[in-house]
Structures are given as structure tokens and as C-alpha cells.
Structure 1
Amino acid sequence: MKTRRSSRLLLAVSLALNVAGCVEQDESIQPGPSNPVGEARQAVVSQGIKDKVIAGYQGWFSAHGDGSPVERWYHWSGGVYRSNEGMPAPGHQSFDLYPDISEYPPGSLFQTGYAPLGNGAPAKLFSSYSADVVNKHFQWMQQYGIDGAAVQRFMTTDGVFMAHRNSVATKVKTAAEATGRLFYIMYDISGMDDATFVQMIKDDWTKTIVGQLQLTTSPRYAVQDGKPVVAIWGVGFTDRSNSAARSSELIDWFRAQGTYVIGGVPTNWRTSSGDSKPGFTEVYKKFHMISPWTVGRYKHDVEIDSYKNTHVIPDRDYCATHGMAYQPVLFPGFAWYNWNGGPKNELPRRGGAFLWRQAFNIRSAGIPAAYIAMFDEYDEGTAIAKAAEDSSMTPTNQYFLTLSSDGIYISSDFYLRLAGKATRMIEGLDALTPTVPIPYTNGPVWFRTGGEETDAALTWSNTIDPTGGGSVGVTGPGGTGGVGFGVVSGERAHGGSRALRISGRDTAATGGSFAYFKAYDVHIPVQASTQLSFWTYPQNSLSQHVTVDLIMTDGSSLRDSGATDVNGIGMHPGASRGTVNAWTQTKSRIGQWLAGKTIDRILITYDYGPLTGDFLGYVDDIEIRD
């Protein structure tokens, strides 16, 4: 059995987009002042999809011990039926983006063969077979304002596999009803034989979806123009075996059943070129709604903008002329390094700018709907569901993509918040905005990095901060060159393999010697509960004056605030810190001194007047949180 793998990348999500003149108004929510993310679209949404943003929902992850019919590791890795053999372990995984597992009930999580996460927690993964997991996913959709989900349906003669999929679909129905979200079935014909796929899908729809599971009777099953919605993904792709005749037969049959049919089609469906087979033009016209696949088709803003002009607008106009609705696809980024090779972080998310540019172009083209690929696709790094923020939330002995892999600290819920805002913008509830309109985090963690490749990266390397302290009386180690500061690998690290290192020679025994390096550009509001923590490793007594400093937006600093750590030691670098040749953690409740201010940048510093000589110190695992 194959999953949806297009000629370059894979998998889709349904975002209900429509063309001007065909917009169905959502009676439950009317355009008005913007609500905060987290309050948007929480009310029950209407069943029509022409003016909705829908996320593709896989629901395909399983684990040994989850009680499912297959009871094997699936999609996290290639496991063995009813066995723990093949469980995810270093070098044995088929997913790239590690999920944030912190909100799932313990009974929904299953132990892997990885070392503990960077924060010390066991490396576990969830099973989509768990009702608690499905419920949590739909609660997130409701909380963050995503209208609903297109439930992926892969067909096979394997009855055990289909029993698993049926159970997940039933749980989706229950979760959608509890949260007021929409859902509909999306058949993926990838890997299906042309001679048999039509009858298999007909039988499944009549006997299972409508008959046994009765999904279409749910008040939350999507209905457009009085017709239950069904999507068929994969029609007309050059790397799929389906013929125009068979595809046409299936669409005609669904229309005769009184359904509203969406087509997941190639990028170049309209011109029958590139990824689209010839001879499918009349087949495409049979769909009520067209949703062209875009994952992997662009990377940079100039390419996204070009795609708008060469595909989105012409597609929109063609659909309007031929009486079809239009549902563009957008995605947050892509990577399948662990599963299929290729570069790490192949299509970077760019701190949400990649997804937002697509949403901006969709709305600016007057299209009020979209399909997000995908909600829970951790396999290829396209998931918008909560994911690991940084190396502290991934196993220490295996590479995984994190949300901070672009070098910016990003909270696990950022892409849910962003998808909610994109939904509001696309649907006309918020103003058209060209740049990402939300912060990377709303706390309680405001910043965290250990310098690892999947953590927030230095904004500046080896750069003295002239307004934050400057440098006096310090040269390079041994008295030559300049003082050095940057990330080093394989020398000293509190966690992982990297740390920040500052080294030099203090040349002035009187008048003070110091070097203040800019490290991270941030914008962090300080509350009374805000705390700073970090680890230091001094290699001699002078190095005990290597530490972290903060510069506020008003120009004031942590070092001159009078702040102390939890042991009463001053936060000024002049105070000796830590034990020579050992890692020591510093914690300071900085909110006691800085509440109401905003942190503008984080510095790594050396500052000590009385002695001279070489110093070399390491700093690791910096965190600012409430």
C-alpha cells in the first residue's frame, strides 16, 4: 500500500476556497473586528465549505500496544504486525518533525527506542488510534480557529488495516461533533490499480462510509449545496496509474449519488502539462471544486508570487468560467531527511513567513477558502499541529526537525495560531496583512536555546555591542588578535554537542576590562514572574566572570539593575560565578527588577577589573520563561 507521494513531495489538506460570486456566507460568524487568536472561529461553523479553510488530517500513526487492529508501529517507522519489532529507534524512523507530546494523556503515548529527550523526558510517541489523541487534535482546531478536516482515506484489501481506518474515522466524527468542526472523507487513489480502484471506492462509500459508519448523517459532516462532500485526490497525476476513463466513471458515479465532489489534482491541471497527464481536461471539469497540489512547487517568496500569477489567478478564473469552485493548497514547509533522504529542512518554514505569503496571495486574489497541507503530517514536516520547539524536545541520539530549526525560537503552538490567523484573513474576517501578524511565542517559555542545529541560532557572531557595553582592555587569547565569541561543537556542552564560547586575554589590571558581545535579537516582555536561567563552565578563575547579560528596549541592562540570582549572587559579571571546570546553573527571577520592561537583546559577556590573564568560558542552555 502506498501513501500519497507526488512526483516530488506529498500529501494534502483541504482548504475550502471559492471564486468571487460563489461565496457561501457562514451564518455563525460574520465579518467584524478581529478576535484574538484562540477565540477565532470557536463557534460551530456552518457545513458549507466554499468559504472555509480545511486542514488535511492523516490520523495514520499507530504504535505497538495501542490496542488497534494492527497494533504495530506505523508511519513513525515500519513496524511488524502485532509486534514491537521495528519500533522507532536511531536510524529507524520514517518521520522528520518530532511532535510535542506534552499534552497527550500517558495512555496515548508509547515508548520508543530513542534516548530521552533533551529535557530528560522519555522519548515517546502518540497513536492516532487513541480517542484522546483525535479529541485533542480537534480541540486544537476549535481553540485556534481552524474550520475542520479532510480525513484521508487510503484503500486496500487488507481488512485489518481498514478496520483501523474505520475506527479513526468514527473517532473523528465524535470529535468533530464535540468541537463544532467540519469533516469530510478524502479518498487518496495513490498506488491503486486502475482496473479495481473505482469499484473499491464505490463499495467503501456505500457499504462503509454511508452504511456501516454512517458518517454522512453527522451534523458536522460537510455539506455543500445540499450535497455531502467527498474528495478524490490523485486524479490525473503523471505518476498515478488511473486512466481518464476510470476517473471519469468514478466522478460521474459520485455525482449520481448526490455528493459534492472535490478533485485533488496536479499543479498543472488546467494546462495538462508538467505533472498532469494529457487527456484529462474533460475529467477535471466534472468536479464541483478543484484543489491543485502545491507542496514542493516553490520555496522563495518570488516563486510563491510567480505561482500566484501563473496558476492561482488563471485557475480561479478558469473555475469561475466553468462553474467550479476553487480551493488552493498551502503548506508550512517540507522535509523528509529521515524518511527519504534529501537535505535537512529542505523547504524552510522561515518563521511562518513561508505559509503566510501563500495565505496573503490567496486572499489578495479574492479567494475565500483554502486547504492546508497538513494538520498532522509529521512524516514530511508539513504538520501544523504542535511540534517540538527545539532540541530540548527531541531525542538526544537522533536528528529531528524542530520548529526552531530556522534559527528562531518558536513555540509548539505557533503554526496553529498562524493557521487560525490565516483562516480569518482568507475568509475576510481580518484585514489583508503582508507580514506574519503574531509573535513567535506567547510564553510561558519566551526564549530557549542550547546552540544545537535545531535551536534558535545566534543573531550575531563575534560582534561587540557598542551601545550595550563595548570592549575595553581585552584582546585575543595570548594577547594577539581579537577576543573570540561564537558557537563551538565537540568541545564542551551541558546538553547536546554545542555551546557558546568566549575567550580572550584581560590586559588591564586597573580601570576595568570587559567585552560585551551581542548574541540574540529578541523582543520579550518581562513580567513579575519572569526568570532567566543558563549554565556556565569556566576553565579558570577569570572565566568565572563570563555570563549572560540583557539589554532592555529603554537602554537599561540586567547587570546594572541590582538583580541577583536565587542564591543572592549579583547578576553583574563582576561577581564570580560557578565552579572552575564544572557546569553550574544560574537562575535569576529577573522580573523582580525588570518587570514592565522589554528585553531587546541577549549578550554574552566578560567583565572583571582586578586581574589580568587569559580566560575561556562556555555558556549553554539559556532560557527565559515565566
Structure 2
Amino acid sequence: MMIIIIKRFRGILGALALATVAAAGCVGAEQEAAPGATAAPEGETRQAIVSQGIKDKVIAGYQGWFTAYGDGSPVERWSHWSRGTYQSNAGAPAPGYQSFELYPDVSEYSAASLFQTGYAPLGNGSPAKLFSSYPTEVVNKHFAWMQQYGIDGAALQRFAGELRDSVFKAHRDSIATKMKNAAEATGRLFYLMYDITGMDEATFVQNVQNDWTSTIVGQLRLTSSSRYAVQDGRPVVSIWGLGFTHNPGTPSQAAALIDWFHAQGVYVIGGVPTNWRTSTGDSKPGFEATYAKFDMISPWTVGRYKTDGEVDNHRNTYLVPDRDYCNGRGIAYQPVFFPGFAWSNWNGGPRNDFPRRQGNLFWRQAVNIREAGIPAAYIAMFDEYDEGTAIAKAAEDSSMAPTNQYFLTLSSDGAYVSSDFYLRLAGKATRMIERLDPVSAQVPIPLTAGPVFFRSGAEETDAALSWNNTTEAMQGVTGAEFGAVSGEPVHAASRSFRLAGRDTQTTASHAYFKAFDVNIPVQSSTQLSFWTYPQNSLGQHITVDLIMTDGSTLRDSGATDLNGVSMHPGAPRGTVNAWTQTRSRIGQWLAGKTIDRVLIAYDYGPLTGDFRGYVDDITIANP
């Protein structure tokens, strides 16, 4: 049975409210690099400026709503990371006190844009800090990413329920101006999206009209920007939430708002319920004629499916019939697709509720959109860390998240995934949907483009073992067991890998266990590092080994660590009952080969007896 999740209440009112802003899109070979822009990774280029039309673009939703006490914003408190207290650091994010699921990658933000939380340090030892969306540098960086990775533009979210609060309105207005400037600097396309969730039914139409006229067009002059979306000669606006069962508005009120925007010469997109076409389920009845007034229809899909089968069922039941309905009535169609979803830290429910499946959920939706011949789409969302739908850079694994609080990471699905993977994948999806690239049934990019190609510390949110207690080779050993454990010696966080058994012969005794299935090309600069903790003298012969695609191994390559000790397990490593790090420049011996499997191994001939030891924090990278 397909799980249906109604989009959460976004327009949190009063002191608890705060959300904000923004947008981004496509751009730039002819533009100067945006402030905060970084060099494009290998295989990626900065996009040229795109036209202002919206019918053939892939747009990402942009919130811009995270604040922290001390960030200089009108809000003067923590919001969205947690619910803070006005003009105070009280309520700063801390264990058990957070309202977001996916921890961001904060490594590229300046110190001035980061704010200390109440969490323990990250797994890599760095202080646990979070960015605020308010600093200009942060907005610039987000738009620089959009430009770098080839995302056409963004819808600036404006939560109409907050417009009556002068503090939050001032914050949103400021973010909107910064977003406009960043879009112009990077050549991104943007437009405004009103979310009517939480508004008063009696006044929401008038409030939206007044805000558009006096603030958006008048004060902020957003529609005068060279990067504001214009379709058929009309500036674009999106209205999200009309017709949802939990939102305000009758059919006549909704129709009046759409008609008013049309009278202003505006092109109107409708962010509508999944069942908009039949006015059933998540849609109020009687809205069929109202939905038909929109120039473009964009049905909400977040939380509607998890598996490939459910994605394909949605295609057959909604995507294609919706497309045909719109085509028959001259309405443009903008399907919504998302990378994953969870909100256990904020609203309960299972951890990693709608798994990203290493990009496969996101990509399957994109393939269906392309194969349906639909040239436009909306990505939910760019920076939505609250519900775990963000495509912006996020923590890769436990090394980039606090050690004393659960957070979703990009490696939570079992394989190591780099922080920019979903930006890279969104760029590829954009090209495919816009028919610039051919259809690829499989995710067309590697999970990481480096410099880190593999990392795992056995934690719940790290790359998981590819095999369960499975040997590659074993001789002269009995009772051998290998796996991830908790409550035993760990180098960091709460888990490690344990290998134990009994050596029963004095010649050629070994136990090699399969750990990780990888595909890592070795360059001359490639390094391997890991930590070991032997619990007895034979445990000093427990280590990491690698098998190449050609069948050769690290242990027999002649490689040594930085201290000149052989990487063969026969060479004792570390001190009993202490953690010791091993680092080896394996590229000196293995360059040009490809790592196929990572093994955890015991190998020692001269003695017999029990062996027991732990391995933690394995990394393969090109520094």
C-alpha cells in the first residue's frame, strides 16, 4: 500500500515560525563566477545563462529559512535547526532538541557563517556547528553550487502565513533580495512561490495580493530582475497549497486569486495535491474547474512512493494521465521529484523512512519524467534539511555528524556517498529531462568524485558491510567471526569492526573476510588509512587488505606504511589494548589498478592460539 504523507505545516506562526526564501537555476559561462564559487569538479562545467522561460526548465525549491542566534538576522534566534527563544541562545540545537533530519556538510562555509551548537564534536573531531541562511555568503554559495552543477533555477518559497509577523517578513524580504542578487551574479533563473499553508481563510487572498503588489513588485522589485522567470511575456508566480484538504480556501476563493494574478499579467503555476485531477484523496472536492485555471500544474509527490515499483505505479496512475490531461487543455506540466524523505528527529517516524537508495529513487523519477516526454520538473528541495530532502551538500557519514545524536547522512543507505553527489545527480537529471543527454536507465555518475573514495567507521550512518561474516579465504583457523559490533572498543562514535578466532596451526594460518565491495581506481597519490586495536599479541596481525580487479592484493604488493612496516598481516601492527593508526601511500605500489574488494584479515604462521582485534575508521582517498 502506497504511503501517503501530507506536506507538513511549513508556515509556523509567531515566535515559532521561520522559514524563508529562495531560488536558483541555470547559468553562466558568460557570467563572472559567483561569490563563494569553487572550481568545478572533474566532468562538471559551469552552465551558460539560460532563457527566462519556465516550460522547459528543471527548478529546485529553495527555503533559505535556517537562522541562528547571533547571525544578525531580524529573527534573533535559532529556527528550523531547532526552535529557539527570541533574542537568546536558549533553544540552540542539542541532543534531543532539534527539528531537522539530514546534517549539512558545513566544511565550505566561512567561520562567520557558522554557529556553535550544543552537540558533541563531529566524528572527525571538528566542533558541531551549523550555518545560518541569513549571511550573504551562504546565499551566494548556494547559487554558486547551482551554477557549478547545472541546475536551471529555483523557486523562492514565501510562506504566506508569516507575512503578518513583521520580524519574519523582514527576514524573508532580506533573503529575497540576497537571492535576487545571487541569481543575477550566477545567471540562475528564479521565481516566487507562495505557500498558503496555515493562513487564515478569510484573509489569505487579500494578504497575498497586498504582498505581491506592495513588497514583491513594489519594494523589492523582484520581477524587474533580469533573472526573474518570464513565460509567454509574463512574470511567473507559483501558489502552493490551494485545494489541499488541510489548507484554507474554497474553490471560489482560489479561483479569485488566480484570476487576480492573471489580471496583473502574471503566469501562474499551481502547486496542487497529488489527486488534483479527480479532486479526491488529498484534494478537496469541487476544485476541478479551479485547477484548470492554472497556466502550469505541479502536483506534490514527496512521500508518495519508495520503491521502483511504486515510482512506476505513480507514473502510470498519475504522471502520464496528468500529462495527457494538461496537454489536452493547453496547460503546462511540472512534475515534482525528490531524493528521499525522513523526519524522525522532528516529527517522529522511522529513521531513513524513504531511503535515497544511493540516488536510485531520485533517478528513477527523472527517467520516468524524461520517457514521458515532459520537458520541465521541480526538485523538492534544494536546502530542505528538515525533512531530509535536500540536494545541497550534506554530511557524508558519521565523521561529518555529531557523535551524540542521530542524524541522517548520505551514506546511511550502505555505500559511501560524497557530499555533492545529489548536486551532481540533479545536474545530470536536468540534462536528461531537457533532452541534452540520452536516457540512462542506471544512475550515470559515481557515488563519489573524490578526493575521498571510501570511508567507514561501522556506524549506522556509514557505508555498511557488503557481506555478512563471509570469508574470502581461510586456513588453519577455527571459530573465526567478523562483523560490526557496539559496546566494545571503538576509536570514535559507538561501533567498530571485530575479527576473532583461533589459530590452530603453525604454518600458513589465515582468515580473510570480505568486507566492502568497491570500485576504486588507484592513482599515484592514493592513500589507505585505518585504526586497529589488538586485544592480544596475535591480534596485532589483524589488518586491512585489498584485492584488485586483476586478482592482485595489497598484502603481496610489497607496500609499506609510512613507518616502513609491511602492509602484509604477517607484520605485527600496533600495541595491545591501544588504538593505532596505519597510513600507507598505496598508490606507490598499486597505481593504475582498481580496488575491487576491501578485506579485514588475520594472517600469521609461527604461533597458535586465540586472536582478537578491532578495526575502525577505514579511509581510501587521494589527499
Superposition deviation, residue 14 in structure 1:
11
SS of match in other structure, 2:316:
helix
Report if aligned partners of 2:109, 2:138 keep a CA contact under 8 Å in 1.
Answer: yes
Q: What corresponds to 2:120 in structure 1?
A: 115
C-alpha deviation, 1:259, in angstroms = 0.5
Separation in structure 2 between the aligned mates of residue 377 and residue 365 of structure 1, nearest angstrom:
27
Correspondence 1:491 to 2:493: no
Secondary structure at the aligned position of 1:66 is classed as coil
Unmatched runs of 5 consecutive residues or more in structure 2 = 11-19, 31-39
Aligned partners of 1:38 and 1:417 also within 8 Å? no
Describe how 1:427-446 pairs up with structure 2 within 5 A: 427-446=434-453
> What amino acid does structure 1 have at the position aligned with 2:611?
F
2: distance between equivalents of 1:302 and 1:37?
34
- Relative to structure 1, the CA distance from residue 208 to residue 37 in structure 2 (aligned partners, 3 Å threshold; closer, same or farther) is farther
TM-score (norm 2): 0.94
Structure 2 equivalent of residue 224 of structure 1: 231
Q: CA RMSD in A?
A: 1.9
Work out the CA distance in 2 between the residues paired with 1:308 and 1:609.
60
Residue 338 of structure 1 pairs with residue 334 of structure 2: no
Secondary structure of 1:316's aligned partner:
helix
Q: Percentage identity across aligned positions?
A: 74
Match of 1:532 in 2: 528
Question: Runs (4+) of structure 1 moved beyond 3 Å?
Answer: 8-16, 35-41
Q: 1:621 aligns with which of 606, 617, 621?
A: 617
Instruction: Specify the SS of the correspondent of 2:595.
Output: strand
Q: CA deviation at 1:136?
A: 0.3
Q: Do structure 1's residue 403 and structure 2's residue 399 form an aligned pair?
A: no
Distance (Å, rounded) in 2 between the aligned partners of 1:59 and 1:273: 32
Separation in 1, partners of 2:352, 2:21: 20
| Structure 1 SS opposite 2:429 | helix
Q: 1:577 offset after TM fit, Å?
A: 0.4
- C-alpha deviations, 1:317-347, integer Å up to 9, x for none? 1001111000000000000000000000000
- Asked whether the equivalents of residues 22 and 175 of structure 2 are also in contact (C-alpha less than 8 Å), the reply is no
The amino acid that maps onto 1:462 is N
Give the Cα–Cα distance (whole angstroms) in 1 for the partners of residues 46 and 9 of structure 2. Answer: 28
Q: Which of 593, 597, 603 is the matching residue for 1:597?
A: 593
CA distance in 2, matches of 1:15, 1:72: 23
The answer to whether the Cα contact below 8 Å between 1:209 and 1:216 also exists between their aligned partners in 2 is yes
Name structure 1 gaps, 5 residues minimum.
17-25, 29-34, 477-482
Query: Cα distance 1:523–1:7, how it changes in 2: closer, same or farther (>3 A)?
Result: same
How far residue 7 of structure 1 moved from its aligned partner, in angstroms, is 2.3
TM score, norm. by length of structure 1:
0.93
Query: Paired residue for 1:165, among 172, 194, 207?
Result: 172
Q: Name the counterpart of 2:81.
A: 76
Match of 1:500 in 2: 497
CA contact (8 A) 2:456 2:617 kept: yes
Alpha-carbon spacing, 1:301–1:514, altered in 2? closer, same or farther (3 Å): same
Q: 1:6 to 1:504 in 2, by over 3 A?
A: closer
1:557 aligns with 2:553: yes
Q: Which residue of 1 aligns with 2:432?
A: 425
Matches within 5 A, 1:130-141: 130-141=135-146
Q: Specify the alignment match of 2:55 in structure 1.
A: 50
Code of the aligned partner of 1:101:
V
Q: Distance in 1 between matches of 2:232 and 2:29?
A: 15
Task: Indicate if the aligned counterparts of 2:22 and 2:64 stay in contact, CA closer than 8 A.
Answer: no
In 1, Cα distance between equivalents of 2:267 and 2:337: 22
| Per-residue deviation, 1:241 | 2.0
- Give the Cα separation in 2 of the matches to 1:306 and 1:383: 24
Output one character per residue of 1:460-481: Cα deviation in whole Å (capped at 9) or x when no partner: 121011xxxx1100001xxxxx
User: What letter matches 1:619 in structure 2?
Assistant: V
Deviations 1:275-327 (A, max 9, x none): 01111001001100000000001111111001001100100010011110000
Q: CA deviation at 1:624?
A: 0.5
Residue of structure 2 in register with 1:89 after alignment: 94
Q: Report if aligned partners of 2:46, 2:147 keep a CA contact under 8 Å in 1.
A: yes
Partner letter of residue 220 of structure 2?
A: L
For the residue of structure 2 that corresponds to 1:142, the secondary structure is helix
Q: How far apart are residue 81 of structure 1 and its match?
A: 1.4
After the TM superposition, which residues 32-431 of structure 1 pair with which residues of structure 2 at under 5 Å, given as runs? Answer: 39=44, 42-155=47-160, 156=162, 157-431=164-438
User: In structure 2, do the counterparts of structure 1 residues 351 and 541 end up closer, same or farther at CA, with 3 Å as the change threshold?
Assistant: same
Distance across 2 between alignment mates of 1:38 and 1:137: 20
Q: 1:41, CA displacement in angstroms?
A: 6.2
Equivalent residue of 1:464, what SS? strand
* Residue type of the alignment partner of 2:221: Q
Q: Does 1:586 align with 2:586?
A: no
